Amino acid sequence: MNDEQLLRYSRHILLDEIGIESQQKLLAARVLVIGAGGLGSPAALYLASAGVGSLTIVDDDDVDLTNLQRQIAHTTARVGQPKALSAREAIAALNPDVQVTALIERVDDARLAELVAASDVVLDCTDNFKTRHAVNRACVAARVPLVSGAVIRFDGQVSVFDPRSGAAPCYSCLFPQDQAFEDVACSTMGVFAPLVGVVGAMQAAEALKLVMGIGESLAGRLLLLDGLRMEWTSIGVGRNDGCPVCGG
């Protein structure tokens, strides 16, 4: 690290659990963020501010005025721009040392496999089960840890699915891909703005811990947040022996 980096990341380096060695791991890390909306915005900004060296942001949507109530990476001036490019601009203003690859595309299974295999950790910041399951399959196949988050109305959830551990469940163990789930859109149900910040920041925190190899991740646990009561509930999640994705 150069002198400017030592100063920028000094509050991390002061932490015994991080120090210079773990900060250097962040600088060398490659993180994939799928979705640059409510969850992806705070997640990407915190990953960048913490010093993740390479961020790939995938989103095929454009910034809309209705997004600005909660998607903090975007601005009024960038309404109409692709979200991936808008997020890249926000990150450049925050930490120009971060290498950001902005992909304006809806990725299929083959493209996901390519992107996930080139990453150290993946953040699923999407809002539909089809994409979440596709991301999970790619992470299981490549043995890359997945940090998953979701928020709707006043409810949030976050967990880690780490296929590097033989005992850890995958996303499909918790939400079977052959089970019928109804996708609920913010446009019809609404979402309390600060909750996406809370969950997105937690996704970033879990991703940083995974990269640095510190602490204990949320693998095997699902955290549920009731935003009206501001209460967290932790639920243990076991591996499904019959899971068709990770093999149980």
Q: Write the pLDDT tens digit of every residue in 140-198.
A: 999 999 999 999 999 999 999 999 987 899 999 999 988 766 666 666 788 999 999 99
pLDDT on residue 185: 60
Which of 31-35, 51-55, 118-122, 238-242 is the least confident region? 238-242
Give me the long-range contacts of 60-69 (CB less than 8 A, separation at least 24): 60/84, 60/104, 60/105, 60/106, 61/36, 61/37, 66/187, 67/37, 67/38, 69/193
Residue 248's pLDDT band (cuts 50, 70, 90): low
Query: Which of 125, 139, 170, 186 is flagged as catalytic?
Result: 186
pLDDT on residue 218: 96
Block residue for tokens 């149980």? 248
Examine residue 244 and state whether it is found in any structural domain, yes or no. no
Examine residue 241 and state whether it is found in any structural domain, yes or no. no
| E strand or H helix at 103 | strand 99-103
CATH of the domain at 97: 3.40.50.720
CA–CA distance, 39 with 87 (Å, rounded to integer): 12
Beta bridge partners of 150: 157
Q: Is the pLDDT of residue 106 over 80?
A: yes
Known catalytic membership, residue 186: yes
CA–CA distance, 84 with 140 (Å, rounded to integer): 25
Q: What is the mean pLDDT of the chain?
A: 95
pLDDT on residue 48: 98
pLDDT on residue 167: 85
Examine residue 50 and state whether it is found in any structural domain, yes or no. yes
High-pLDDT (> 70) share of the chain, %: 96
Residue type, 1: M
Which residues constitute the domain of residue 227?
A: 3-236
CA–CA distance, 140 with 246 (Å, rounded to integer): 6
List the strands of the sheet with 155-161, edge to edge. Answer: 99-103, 54-58, 30-34, 121-124, 146-152, 155-161, 221-226, 231-236
Examine residue 245 and state whether it is found in any structural domain, yes or no. no
Residue type, 157: Q
Number of domains in the chain: 1
Block residue for tokens 């999407």? 126
Examine residue 73 and state whether it is found in any structural domain, yes or no. yes
pLDDT tens for residues 112-133? 999 999 999 999 999 889 999 9
Examine residue 246 and state whether it is found in any structural domain, yes or no. no
